[in-house]
Amino acid sequence: MLLLCSGLAGQTLFQSPEEGWQLYTSAQAPDGKCICTAVIPAQSTCSRDGRSRELRQLMEKVQNVSQSMEVLELRTYRDLQYVRGMETLMRSLDARLRAADGSLSAKNFQELKDRMTELLPLSSVLEQYKADTRTIVRLREEVRNLSGSLAAIQEEMGAYGYEDLQQRVMALEARLHACAQKLGCGKLTGVSNPITVRAMGSRFGSWMTDTMAPSADSRVWYMDGYYKGRRVLEFRTLGDFIKGQNFIQHLLPQPWAGTGHVVYNGSLFYNKYQSNVVVKYHFRSRSVLVQRSLPGAGYNNTFPYSWGGFSDMDFMVDESGLWAVYTTNQNAGNIVVSRLDPHTLEVMRSWDTGYPKRSAGEAFMICGVLYVTNSHLAGAKVYFAYFTNTSSYEYTDVPFHNQYSHISMLDYNPRERALYTWNNGHQVLYNVTLFHVISTSGDP
């Protein structure tokens, strides 16, 4: 290959960090041009750069599916243990009934029979849980096979079978989402007593873990204050966070507003100060991957929660993905909830809940349902629920103990099925109880 260049003969003049290009030797041609020798990588993708990028994106999607499956298994482990225990109890009762043969009194026999009658409806639920477990095993095997296919194609730097692989990835994502909705979701019926993890920082702030991280990753992120902050502390584990040790610091290129930040799949999503811009900051590369204005969203204390603090925009993650909660002038100050594409930050769909944001203490998403508290002070309770799947709402009455009397951050983590709270300088956790409604019509 001949290239116009300038440089010293016999030395490496340039090497691309991504493709491995190297230029060696240069000589003067009779017409005065500089002739260089270019050594191209053995597996060059010059003509297939676009397709290779698409393959890498597919690989990332498959990895995300794999991580989501691990989160799903972690979250439903206790449910499956409970189900297995109920199955053992049913078998025991059934055996006692069969072995009774008149040895039990009429009263005891009737009590056992009544108990068995109460448990009979659970049999179909037990079978469905077993079927769902088998579905997860099959999904895991498909992910493993698909990852191998993608890796082989990437190694060859070819594009054979790309469209088929893309369809398989999309189908896996859809099936995984359906599994998560069926196995892990339910209606909020209770919030536990608070668990104080640490007392650190000012009255306002936020702290969180990555909702998409594998179980071995227990990093904690800490952001003190509610406006103009840029310093994010990353602790290696929850234990390190409690002790205040083993952390690194990230300095954001743009300051934040509010406390409604969230960490999702290795990136921080936050509201840029004095704007309605959403920023996606990637921790590993320490760079902003994308930023986008949220159309019409109020900012700079135009439509905050009842406690103020530039809380106009609140980002959340639940079982189905990334959400933004905010309001606009067009919605007359009522809460708007939007589903966001985590890669582009584009709004995929929006709902007007009809609930005035200034009357809300805080809000969080669980299983596609937005739950709103009626205050940020003592005596607060979960008062309102908006269901995005049916575009309907209801008023609720789920109390929780606001131990330190001033909540400035409340967020749900679907991996741990817990609420993370910043309460008057205290970092607090609440466990939640979800009421499951399980369909027994078969595997979709």
> Per residue in 351-360, pLDDT tens?
999 999 999 9
What three-state secondary structure class fits 372? strand
391 CA to centre of own chain? 22
Distance, in Å, from the CA atom of 40 to the CA atom of 17, rounded to the nearest integer, reads 13
In Å, what is the CA distance from 386 to each residue of 301, 347, 364, 373?
Answer: 24, 18, 11, 12
Which comes out higher in pLDDT, residue 37 or 319? 319
Which is it for the CA torsion 106, 110, 116, 120, positive or negative?
positive
Residue 11's pLDDT is what?
Answer: 38
Residue 127 has pLDDT above 70, yes or no: no
Residue 130 has pLDDT above 80, yes or no: no
Average pLDDT of the segment spanning 248-253: 97
Reported confidence tier of residue 434, pLDDT bands at 50, 70, 90: confident
In Å, what is the CA distance from 408 to each residue of 162, 308, 393, 402, 411?
Answer: 47, 9, 24, 11, 10
Residue 65's pLDDT is what?
Answer: 66
Reported confidence tier of residue 44, pLDDT bands at 50, 70, 90: very low
Residue 17's pLDDT is what?
Answer: 37
CB neighbourhood size of 313 (10 A): 27
CB neighbourhood size of 394 (10 A): 10
The domain ranges of the chain are 51-93+109-184, 187-435
Which comes out higher in pLDDT, residue 409 or 41? 409
**For the residues of 316-330, what is the DSSP string, one character each?**
EEETTEEEEEE-BTT
Contact 55, 150 (CB under 8 A): yes
Average pLDDT of the segment spanning 190-218: 93
Residue 12 has pLDDT above 50, yes or no: no
Contact 352, 338 (CB under 8 A): no
Reported confidence tier of residue 95, pLDDT bands at 50, 70, 90: confident
pTM of the model as a whole: 0.67
> Which neighbouring-strand residues pair with 28?
34
Would you state the CATH architecture of domain 187-435?
6 Propeller (2.120)
Helix (H), strand (E) at residue 258: strand 247-264
Q: Which residues contact 315 (CB under 8 A, 6 or more apart)?
A: 260, 261, 262, 269, 270, 271, 278, 322, 323, 324, 325
Reported confidence tier of residue 105, pLDDT bands at 50, 70, 90: confident
Residue 55's pLDDT is what?
Answer: 65
- Highest mean pLDDT: which range of 69-73, 178-182, 423-427: 423-427
Contact 333, 296 (CB under 8 A): no
Residue 30 has pLDDT above 60, yes or no: no
Q: Which of 158-167, 182-191, 216-225, 424-433 has the lowest mean pLDDT?
A: 158-167
Reported confidence tier of residue 123, pLDDT bands at 50, 70, 90: low
Contact 429, 418 (CB under 8 A): yes
Which comes out higher in pLDDT, residue 353 or 154? 353
Distance, in Å, from the CA atom of 428 to the CA atom of 196, rounded to the nearest integer, reads 4
Which comes out higher in pLDDT, residue 254 or 144? 254
Contact 351, 399 (CB under 8 A): no
86 CA to centre of own chain? 31
**Helices 49-100 and 162-184 meet at what angle, rounded to 10?**
40
Single-letter amino acid code for the residue at 106: A
Nearest to 73 by CA among 201, 152, 180, 1: 180
